[in-house]
Each structure stands twice: as structure tokens, then as C-alpha cells.
Chains A and B, each alone.
Chain A
Amino acid sequence: MSIDNERRVISVIVMNESSVLARVTSLFAARGYNISSLTVAPIPNSEMSHITIETQGSSRVMEQITKQLHKLIPVYKVIEHEEMVEKEMVLVKFPIAENLSDISALCSAYNGGIVNVGTEMVIAMVADEPSRVKHFIEATERYNPIEVVRGGVVAIER
């Protein structure tokens, strides 16, 4: 058995029908599996949606998760990502008094920029690998962020 409690990203392709997301999430809850992040959106030109779940567990737990997901009637496909491109978006609100050019430079280092400027605050957006998003958030600490909203991971198999 490989390393326990490894971080994993799974994509679940489901039929767009009522309460399908509830079926997926309650399966995790009922079996005591953890969800660290969850994103859902319809797949263009189809009757399916793509759910990306970031979770952790041993390989035995992961095997159960995928098998149990498969058992749900509206689940079409479960992809346990190995070779993937994953991205996460994050929005951060800063006080206008902070050094905007520093913030702007920081954002461009992480594939983003300032997306909104108001009278009291500015809003920056970054989309990058989840681990880099984490670093970005750490780096923003010194500019006194007022609010941070992460979007959750989306992934696609390479």
C-alpha cells in the first residue's frame, strides 16, 4: 500500500439531474471521506457535468471512493488523476492604501493581476497550480488582505 493520506484529485462526470451533487457529497459524508475542495460546472454541449474533488486518503480509501462513486446511478465516469493539469483561481481584496505596484507585480508572478479598483480597496485575481496559489496567498500576507476567496481545484487529464 502506498503512502497514507496523500492528496488526490478526482474528476467525476455525472448526468445533469436533480440532486446529483448531493448524491456525490453525501456519499463522502456517509463514508467519512474528506473533501478539501469541490468544483462543479456543466460540460459544454452535453447533458453531463464535471465535478472536481480534491480529497486525501490511502490507496485503499481511494479505491473505495472511486468504486462507490461508480456505483451511483448518475455517475458516468470517475477519473483518478495522475498526469493532470490542475488550476485554481483565487480572489483577494486589499486596502487601497497598500502598495499597488508591489501587489500588481506579485500577481503577475502568479499568472494574474489586479481586476478591480474601488475607492476603498482593490481586488486581485490569480489562477495557477493549487500549490502556487497557496504560496501566493502566503505572499499576500504582508499587504494586509481583507478577504481571500479560493475557487477550488479544476483538473484535466494530460
Chain B
Amino acid sequence: MQMSGAQMVCEAIIAEGVKTVFGYPGGAIMHVYDEIYKQNGFEHILTRHEQAAVHAADGYARATGEVGVAMVTSGPGFTNAVTGLATAYMDSIPMVVISGQVPLSLIGTDGFQEIDAVGISRPCTKHNFLVRNLEELPRIIKEAFYLARSGRPGPVLVDVPKDITVDIGEFVYPTEVNIPTYKPTYKGNKRQIEKAAEAIKKSKKPLLYVGGGAVLSDAYILVRELAEKTQIPVVETLMARGVMGAGNPLLLGMLGMHGNYSSNMAMSETDLVISLGARFDDRVTGKLSEFAKYADVIHVDIDPANIAKLVDVDYPIVGDVKQVLEDLIPLLEDVNTDRYQAWREILKRYDELHPQSFVDSDTEIKPQWVIERIGELVGEQAIITSDVGQHQMWAAQHYPFDRPRQWINSGGLGTMGFGFPAAIGAKVAVPEKTVINITGDGSILMNMQELVTAAEYKTPVINIILNNQFLGMVRQWQSFFYEKRFSETDLTFQPNFKMLAEACGGIGYDVTTKEEFDAALKDAIEKDQVCFMNVAISRFENVLPMVPAGGALFNMMLPQKSEDDKGEK
């Protein structure tokens, strides 16, 4: 069928089964927007900033496992999208971003709104394309979706020059992809898996170390099965929260810089690390030479480049976590679960010694209380997104996540401003769930314009601002490591968050007591509109435990050793 490049873009998106595209128009992409106007195969959501469009597509992808799609114009539209691409890239999120580009004849002339999108996005995309003629456009979009979702997922950019969107040609959308140089390995090597099973049976203190890859490969049922069958304790990374499910007695908790005591001690004392889709991020390992010092390592990862990148690995297994577990679990039928009994008891003791806890207060609201309270009030019905800072860590530590894809946050890049647009994307994807963005007074201001988007499209995201009037996480480091010189982290000058929300068509709440909090959350769920819930929390609360950057996991600053800011504790 004859059609324009712009029509082809729309047809290809429809052919991929995409239901929602997030974006922002401009000169170079206008022909495509003109076709978007005419079609009804997918919905388009106009965010108020390109960064937010990409984060929204990202939130959509994280909530569903499907490819998120965003569309932006050339030049400033594209550069605004870069943080979104980098965020998705660092967390391996399947995404396709389509950007307009100046006409082919102008490329290389520093034309109006020209920027080398392919050059700029090279380090923060899984792959990128500049479309050079109309004939290759359908194949490129097909490949972009395939690359985004296969192997180790990631964002893919398709940069389309304006003249190509006008050209007319025959549209045949390919049904198959043939990239001879790209062959991801899904199935783990049989021999290696057998060896790993033997190692598990021989070990005395094994530990399952579960990362974001377990979420991406939808392996959670198998991870739980493996743990149940073997009775091996489990630690989760920030990205894997929810895989085991809160309350599972085998789950020790999160590990790493703000992990809990038993998790970090388990990693320090284990004799066999079984890593499932985790990448040994420095926020997890702390000082590498002390990390899992007494352990052999089984490392399962779909990306061969992740394996043995930082630690020596005894049993490397390249493959998809789910498929590897399908092969591994049957080999462990005869495992003797009593074997690890003593180990489980040691870890239980550690947990009793230093549980993940906090000192509550009657006079002010503690952020940890807020998190736990949200868990009590909405628990499993909610999808929780977060921004970046202390609130993110408190949420990761204290929320009772009971399934993967329930916890959506920027782990690898740590992008402030991610939470709200990602929450919009998640709400669009899973409208029946309550979507709550746990954010800080610093972070929320980085994409607050999305209040307008959420109000217009009726995506009733609840933003709970844990307001400490600080860039709290930076303030915490200043407290610990810079002798309390709070350089440029004081945020006492604030907008009126309640009025801000109202000005944009949402609802605002000011919360200063626990009672008010309960009432506000109940009201927000009932009213079902986008809102800002501005919660005044204790100003100097720190995220503990903490492993100072570069320190060994077992050298933790525990709550008892907290600083005495403003007479705290």
C-alpha cells in the first residue's frame, strides 16, 4: 500500500500493538503528528516536557513489561529526551523513542534545530538508527522494537528526517527480523548449570542474590520456587524489590549501601553467591575486595559483558534468568534443605539483633512511618513509583512490596524527576491500580509541570511529597562527611504545593499529623484526581543503615550510631 513516511511510522506503531504513545510535537516531526491526528489505532498523550514523555513511556514499560514508546521533535526536543533515554538504558528498560530530524539535505549544516541525535544517544541507547531513505523505514522500526525487547532489553532511538516523513512509498511491514550480528543467548549452558547445581548442594551457606534481571525476565515465580525448594535465604537489590514478596520468611531484605544488616552480613559471610540477574553495582557491593569474600560465585546474566566484570565468577551462566531457572530447579530435587538450617539461624539472629526499624515519634511525622502506613492502607493494590533521594531508600526499605513491577524507580542513573511522569505512564498502563509516587520536595519540582498532563488525561496519580525542606540525601552526606556544611541543600524556600496542585487542575493536601495523613490518603483515593500530598516530615532524619561509599558491606552505620542532629535520638 502506498503511503507517506509519516503514515508508515503510525502504521508500524499500530502493527507493534502499541496502545499509547507519549510525546511532544515540533517542526521536524509535524508530519507524523498530522497522521497521529487522523488515526485511531493508538492513543497519544501530550506531556508538558519531552523528558517526562520518555519517563512516562518508561513507567509504562516497567509496569507492564511491554515496550514503551515516546515521540519527540529534533534539536531541543531530542536533547530534552536524553535523560529519559539514559535512565531507561541504565535499568535495561524496553523502549522505542522516535525523534524527528531536519531534512536529509540539511543534515550536517548546523541547520535550525539540527542536532546529532544518533551521536548524542550512542552511549545511552542499546542501539540507534538514522533513517536514510524511505524504503528502510519499516524495517528499521521493526528492528527497533525487536532490539528493545529482546536479549538484555534497552531503549532504541529511531531518528527520522523530515523529508522522509513526506516521501511516498510502498508500505510492507516485515514480519520477521534478521540481524545476523545479533543473537542473544537465552538458554544457559547445560554443563554449567549442572555444575552450579552441584555447587549449591555442596555449599553450607548459600545466598540467592536477586537483581532487576529477574524482574525483566518475569522469573519471579521461579525465583520463589527455587528459594522454597532449597530453603536458601534471599537478598534483593533495589531493582528487585517485590520479587520474593514481603513477609516471605526466606527474604532477608535489600542489600547494599542502604541494605539491612542481615542482608549485608549474609553477603559478607556466604560461601556461595547465586546471582540471578544482578550486576554487582557498586552501590550493592561496597568495597569490592571485601564483597562476598568467602564465596564462590554463580552468575546468571543475559548480558555476557556483565559476567565477571567486577568480581571473579566460578560458574558463569549466560542466559535468561527464567530459562536458566527452568533448567536448574529440576536438578535440585534432592537438595537437603536441612543442610542450610544453621545458616538460616545465624541470619535470623542477625535480623533480630539489628532489624530494619526506626524510632517513631508522637510529635512529628517520620518518613518511615509514612511508607509503612501507605503499605497498611493500600498495600498490594498499589503501584509505587519514586524519585531519587532519601524517600526512595525509605520506600525501598519499608514498603511491603509483594510482586515485581509494583516498585518503579530509577536505580542505575538515579534520576530526580523520574517518579511523577513514570507514575503517569504506569497509571495509563494499569488504570485499575492506585499509583502512588513517593517523592521529595526537591525531586517533585523537577517535573511538576506534569500536573497539567495528569489533570488533562485524568491519570489520578497520588504524589506523596516527603517534605524535609532539604535535598535530603545530599544533606545526609553533608552531615556525615562534610561536617554539616549544608551547602545549597536547604529548601526552606518552597512553593505552596497545595496551591500548585490546585493551580494545575489537581488537588492539594497539607499534612502535618498522622491523622491528617490517613484522612488525606483516603480522600485522594476517593476523589481519584491527581494530587500533591505535602507531608511535613522530621527534617534531619537519616537513611540508615548505611555503608559509606567504598566501604565494606559489614561496616555499617546502624541506627544507634545516628548523628545527633537537632537532638534526634
Is the Cβ of B181 less than 8 Å from the Cβ of A63?
Answer: no
Contact of A23 among B122, B132, B147 (CB under 8 A): B122
Residues of chain B within 8 A of A36, CB atoms compared: none
Is the Cβ of B122 less than 8 Å from the Cβ of A26?
Answer: yes
B118-132 contacts to A (CB < 8 Å): 118-119, 122-123, 126-127, 130, 132
A30 to B89, CA, bound (A): 15
Residues of chain B within 8 A of A26, CB atoms compared: 122-123
- A139 shortest CB reach to chain B, Å: 42
A30 to B303, CA, bound (A): 19
Is the Cβ of A70 less than 8 Å from the Cβ of B304?
Answer: yes
Is the Cβ of A75 less than 8 Å from the Cβ of B308?
Answer: no
Is the Cβ of A22 less than 8 Å from the Cβ of B122?
Answer: yes
- B297 shortest CB reach to chain A, Å: 15
A56-110 contacts to B (CB < 8 Å): 63-64, 67-68, 70-71, 73-76
Q: Mark B100-128, 1 if CB is under 8 A from A, else 0.
A: 00000000000000000011001100110
B141-197 contacts to A (CB < 8 Å): 147, 179-182
Residues of chain A within 8 A of B118, CB atoms compared: 19
Is the Cβ of A71 less than 8 Å from the Cβ of B123?
Answer: no
A14 to B179, CA, bound (A): 12
Is the Cβ of B122 less than 8 Å from the Cβ of A67?
Answer: no
A18 to B128, CA, bound (A): 11
Q: Does B309 reach chain A (CB closer than 8 Å)? A: yes
Q: Mark B301-343, 1 if CB is under 8 A from A, else 0.
A: 0011100110000000000000000000000000000000000
Is the Cβ of A76 less than 8 Å from the Cβ of B181?
Answer: yes
**Chief secondary structure at chain A's binding surface:** helix
Residues of chain B within 8 A of A73, CB atoms compared: 126-127, 147, 179, 181-182
A71 to B179, CA, bound (A): 13
Which of B132, B180, B181, B305 has the most A CB atoms < 10 Å from its CB? B181
A96 to B147, CA, bound (A): 59
Contact of A71 among B119, B130, B132, B305 (CB under 8 A): B305
Give the size of the chain A interface in residues (CB under 8 angstroms): 18
Residues of chain B within 8 A of A76, CB atoms compared: 180-181
A101 to B428, CA, bound (A): 81
Is the Cβ of B181 less than 8 Å from the Cβ of A18?
Answer: no
A74 to B123, CA, bound (A): 15
Contact of B130 among A18, A23, A64 (CB under 8 A): A18
A70 to B308, CA, bound (A): 16
Which residue of A is nearest B122, CB measured? A26
Contact of A74 among B126, B181, B303, B304 (CB under 8 A): B181
Is the Cβ of B132 less than 8 Å from the Cβ of A18?
Answer: yes
A76 to B418, CA, bound (A): 36
A129 to B304, CA, bound (A): 34
A15 to B118, CA, bound (A): 17
- A58 shortest CB reach to chain B, Å: 13
Is the Cβ of B123 less than 8 Å from the Cβ of A30?
Answer: yes
B252-309 contacts to A (CB < 8 Å): 303-305, 308-309
Residues of chain B within 8 A of A67, CB atoms compared: 304-305
Contact of A22 among B119, B180, B303, B304 (CB under 8 A): B119
Contact of A15 among B119, B147, B181 (CB under 8 A): B181
Residues of chain B within 8 A of A75, CB atoms compared: 181
Residues of chain B within 8 A of A74, CB atoms compared: 181
Residues of chain B within 8 A of A64, CB atoms compared: 305, 309
Residues of chain A within 8 A of B309, CB atoms compared: 64
Which of A64, A67, A68, A71 has the most B CB atoms < 10 Å from its CB? A71
A74 to B98, CA, bound (A): 20
A67 to B339, CA, bound (A): 38
Which residue of B is nearest A67, CB measured? B305
Is the Cβ of B132 less than 8 Å from the Cβ of A70?
Answer: no
Which residue of B is nearest A47, CB measured? B180
Is the Cβ of A68 less than 8 Å from the Cβ of B181?
Answer: no
B24-56 contacts to A (CB < 8 Å): none
Which of A19, A22, A64 has the most B CB atoms < 10 Å from its CB? A19
- A158 shortest CB reach to chain B, Å: 25
Residues of chain A within 8 A of B122, CB atoms compared: 22-23, 26
Residues of chain B within 8 A of A71, CB atoms compared: 303, 305
A73 to B183, CA, bound (A): 9
Residues of chain A within 8 A of B127, CB atoms compared: 73
- A20 shortest CB reach to chain B, Å: 10
- A133 shortest CB reach to chain B, Å: 32
- B285 shortest CB reach to chain A, Å: 16
- A74 shortest CB reach to chain B, Å: 6
- B97 shortest CB reach to chain A, Å: 16
A76 to B182, CA, bound (A): 8
Residues of chain B within 8 A of A68, CB atoms compared: 305
Which residue of A is nearest B303, CB measured? A71
A75 to B126, CA, bound (A): 13
Residues of chain A within 8 A of B179, CB atoms compared: 73
A70 to B130, CA, bound (A): 21
A63 to B313, CA, bound (A): 13
A64 to B122, CA, bound (A): 18
- B400 shortest CB reach to chain A, Å: 37
Is the Cβ of A70 less than 8 Å from the Cβ of B305?
Answer: yes
Which residue of B is nearest A63, CB measured? B308
A19 to B128, CA, bound (A): 10
A19 to B179, CA, bound (A): 17
In order of increasing CB-CB distance, the 3 nearest A-B pairs are: A67-B305, A76-B181, A73-B127
Q: A64-B305, A73-B127 are in contact. List 9 more A-B contacts (CB 8 A).
A: A15-B180, A18-B132, A19-B119, A19-B130, A64-B309, A68-B305, A71-B305, A73-B126, A73-B179
Cβ contacts A to B, 24 pairs, < 8 Å: A14-B181, A15-B180, A18-B132, A19-B118, A19-B119, A19-B130, A22-B119, A22-B122, A26-B123, A63-B308, A64-B305, A64-B309, A67-B304, A70-B304, A70-B305, A71-B305, A73-B126, A73-B127, A73-B147, A73-B179, A73-B182, A74-B181, A76-B180, A76-B181
